[in-house]
Chains A and B, each alone.
Chain A
């Protein structure tokens, strides 16, 4: 009897499948969507409310932010293209009167593609290199580029920053390309003006860069870089991302050259230039349910080792503060070794719900930064809840951050 029942189930399965297929096809018949046309503008407004708890005692602090983000990427003649990206953040803190405005002119440049394999760009460009996720040693134009930090999510830090004014040329060929760029000195110092284009933050000295990529096989396509400028020795760079299997990508990013230590630069101490390396390497594994896990090892040869870091923490508070501030502006880790973990799960059990988590771990002082986000998106609206917690000794890398806990709700509307 049981065999008969099983037999009936097996025999009925294809019929059921066909019925299900027919129902699915009937549903598909109702599809009326027409393809949308490409737009040159992308504009969104973002409102955020946050509550933070400071290190030590004290009542929670509240704050609000309203942001407007505009990006234009359009072609106005054959081979010509104009790119403009700007963001305005209007912040208000609960116990502080008035608002603070910070405008970030991210990009404004013209691009000319003279032939399909030759192009030139002129203007403020966010030129970014690197394949790692948490720390990009070959991202040579990141120093001084952060003007308004709205989230410690690495993607947000890369997006909401100033480009550098430069002239860039690129030549492409089958399987490779070469680029050269020159970025002149245009100002002496950064500006704190609300609406300043802040050329002093990004173009305080002359810089240049050459990049060369060549596909060596189906798998291997490395990128080599050489970067230099006034007041620094040339730095060699290298980027490589490899597919290990159907679900895993490994990456390595390295730069090296003669450079002064971060401490000597920050405190204007005598030049201690030596050959120093910076490295970020790791892998991203994606599960069948589309959960991507990244583990990254970060090495900053210009940062302090464990002994040096402990000595600085126990020494002059002023030197400690100056060093931390300088490293943050350069977007360099304060110590030699860090670990970075990142997980992102798109459509996490519920369609349109994305979950992201990040941990930064300082190997020298064991302090940690935790950041999580749940983001749900409708067609034009994103709603995100973010939480951050900084753990560690009060003088440690993350334990010394002014806020111990931050909770933030963000509503974004795309026009």
Chain B
């Protein structure tokens, strides 16, 4: 009797070990299959940013206290730097009329502004803003995974840019370099397709600078990309900027164009 009970107990223990062992294997496989926070961020970057040099038109519409307060149209050419992986951009102001023809170059923190009327080439600091609420870095393409360390805080359902509940990875991004626009960022990325959904951008002291929603996903250059970013000011939620992207096209942008001396010659197609 005892012997039978012992055998039964031994068999049960073996079964339990087997189940536990199998569970550990399955779980560890699950863990190894889960993407890293940095990979999620990189996948999200790839949705926002085409993988080859490209051009597009950015239209910024700014609202103050519920009323349209201004708008700008820009032509932008972007290309990733082969060394840093970060994008460099050439920007030509199209509208309003007073700014038409002005140009900007952004290559990392190498930021130049050129006015064809006065022929003045002026080096800008990142803190100098030319476009109201939007930082100069906001209007150009940025690979966040190159500039920030990402940490996965978990998954949660949040309201997206269309006020629909969406299950997202919540990532905490801390800057990897000193010369970035924002000290740290909270980023929400769709768990099903790595689409960027929402970002909250902070200063070093923890003050919320702005909240961004990525929306109006459309097929552009073979990928479903957000064609609109809504930026809400961190201190004044009645200050809203809508950035709309259109006219996506692959563009051959020679390396030699990303310098101050080329700015006077830059003319987007």
Contact = CB atoms under 8 A, between A and B. Distances in A.
Q: Do A and B bind each other?
A: yes
Contact of B132 (A73, A347, A377): A347
Contacts of B126: 246-247
B78 interface: no
A307 interface: no
A91 interface: no
A155 B118 contact: yes
A379 interface: yes
A346 B133 CA distance: 11
Given A33-B244, A172-B262, A27 B63 contact: yes
Nearest to B97: A414
A20 B232 contact: yes
A139 B122 CA distance: 14
B2 interface: no
A35 B125 contact: no
Given A71-B117, A351-B69, A379 B125 contact: no
Contacts of B100: 38-39, 42
Interface in A269-304: 284-288, 290, 292
Interface stretch (B23-31, B88-96, B140-148): B88-96
Given A35-B94, A38-B100, A351-B70, A73 B116 contact: yes
Interface stretch (B9-17, B38-46, B253-261): B253-261
Give the interface SS of chain A, mostly helix, strand, loop or mixed.
mixed
A364 B129 CA distance: 37
A173 interface: yes
B118 A21 contact: no
Contacts, number: 178
A124 to B, nearest CB: 13
A244 B119 CA distance: 24
A311 interface: no
Nearest to A240: B123
A23 interface: yes
A126 interface: yes
B268 interface: yes
A21 B261 contact: no
A158 interface: yes
Given A33-B71, A172-B257, A286 B125 contact: yes
B61 A286 contact: no
A24 interface: yes
Given A24-B230, A24-B237, A172-B259, 19 more contacts: A20-B237, A25-B162, A27-B66, A28-B230, A39-B97, A73-B101, A116-B256, A116-B257, A131-B121, A172-B256, A173-B256, A177-B259, A213-B260, A243-B110, A248-B125, A285-B125, A288-B127, A290-B128, A379-B70
Interface of A: 17-18, 20-25, 27-28, 31, 33-39, 42, 44, 71, 73, 75, 81, 85, 111, 113, 116-117, 119, 126-128, 131, 155, 158-159, 170, 172-177, 179, 213, 215, 218-219, 221, 223, 241, 243, 245-249, 251, 284-288, 290, 292, 346-347, 351-352, 377, 379-380, 382, 414-415
